[in-house]
Every structure is written in structure tokens, then in C-alpha cells.
Amino acid sequence: MRRCVVIGGADIGRYEHIRSYLRVDDFYICCDSGLKHREGLGIVPDLIVGDFDSYENPHLETETIVLPCKKDDTDTVFAVKEALDRGFHEFLLVGVIGGRLDHTLGNVSLLLMLDARGKAAVAVDDYSEMEIVSNRPVQISDHYAFFSLLNISGTAQGINIRNAKYPLTDAEITCEYQYGISNEALPGRIAEVSVERGRLLLIKVLP
């Protein structure tokens, strides 16, 4: 099935970099001011959702879901839920990491939501890739400058890191003590991260 790309309104500075993640058969959902990225990303939305409080509704022929301004879900959260209802299993989130920390943290939590439903999901910004490590190991090549592991779900035990500058064996990272910052895959090796209990946010920092 096609991958769903959800495009939020956070600033994107390196369009060429973000475009390198896109596939010709992706299904694009633009969320409100995510519409401003159409030209930069070179995409045509398949679905538009939003309350249009930050971007004027362009009234395209594209399927559009107009949301009320007063609601529990942000436009981006609604878009992800709508994509889940439509049966998508793989997600790429772009334009979701930006200047407003509240929106950024809320959007990062979407990775937890999707992981809990067994969906593959990655968020990318100008400088990094983010995904959840949970019930299967994740590999990190030495292409990345650094990688960091953050406990954002309350439990992260039985953590193992191999083929990295700072290895771990059966470790725990708590929300109060985030010591898994700025690790590196060993040169010419593929680092591997796994967690036996709980989940971790993996951030891979590009060179």
C-alpha cells in the first residue's frame, strides 16, 4: 500500500533534502499551512485538512476536510487519525518539527501513537530523522553524525546499544536522567539499538 506523507506547517529550510525522502507513489496530506510547502516539495496534495486559521483555504479540486477551530485534535493529529482510518500502515511526517515547542512535542507523540498501532513512522526535519524504538531492534549507519535516545514514554529498560562509541547492555534511561545523547556508530559499522521494556525516541542527526 502507498505510504502516507503528512505535511505540517512548521518551517522547512532544506527542501531538496526533504524531497529526497519522498516517493513517486506517496499519498500526501497537507495540514492547513502545510499547503505552503507544495511548491518547495514539488507535490500535489491528495487530501487537505485544516481549520484554515493559519492559511487561507485555496478551494482546490482536491478532497478537503474543513475542521472547526475549536477542537481537541490539532490539524496534524486529525490528519494522522484520518490516514489510519483509511488503512495506511506506513507514515512519513514532515513540517512537524519547528519553532513552537508545544506543537513539536505534540507531533513527536504521534510517533508513539503510530508505534502503538503497529505502524511504521518516521519524522524528518532539516537536520534529523526521528522514530520510535520498541519491539524490534533499529540499526543506525555511520552515515549519521550522531544519534540520541530519549525516554519519552515513562519506561525504557533492557536497553542495548552495539557497535557504537558508547555501548550499553541491559540499561535503563529514565525521563529524569536522559544520558543517551550524542552517541555515534563506530566507523564502518552499523550500530544497533534495542529495548526490552518500554519505548525510546531515536533521533538520528545528519552530517
pLDDT at 2: 93
Q: Where in the chain is the domain with CATH 2.60.120.320?
A: 133-205
Counting Cα atoms < 13 Å in the Cβ hemisphere of 189 gives: 12
- The whole-chain average pLDDT of the chain stands at 95
Give me the CATH topology for the region 4-126. Answer: Rossmann fold (3.40.50)
Task: For the beta carbon of residue 160, count every other beta carbon within 10 angstroms.
Answer: 15
Instruction: Give yes or no for residue 182 having a pLDDT over 90.
Output: yes
CA distances 105 to 94, 99, 109, 113, 160, Å, are 14, 11, 6, 13, 25
**Looking at domain 133-205, what is its CATH homologous superfamily?**
Thiamin pyrophosphokinase, thiamin-binding domain (2.60.120.320)
> What is residue 149's predicted lDDT score, i.e. its pLDDT?
98
Residue 57 pLDDT exceeds 90: no
Spatial distance between the Cα atoms of 124 and 199, rounded to a whole number of angstroms: 19
Q: Rounded to two decimals, what is the model's pTM? A: 0.94
Q: For residue 93, give the nearest of 122, 129, 62 by alpha carbon.
A: 122
Question: What confidence tens digit (pLDDT) does each residue in 120-147 have?
Answer: 999 999 999 999 999 999 999 999 999 9
The most distant pair of C-alpha atoms in the chain lies apart, rounded to whole Å, by 55
Q: Say which DSSP state 81 is in.
A: H
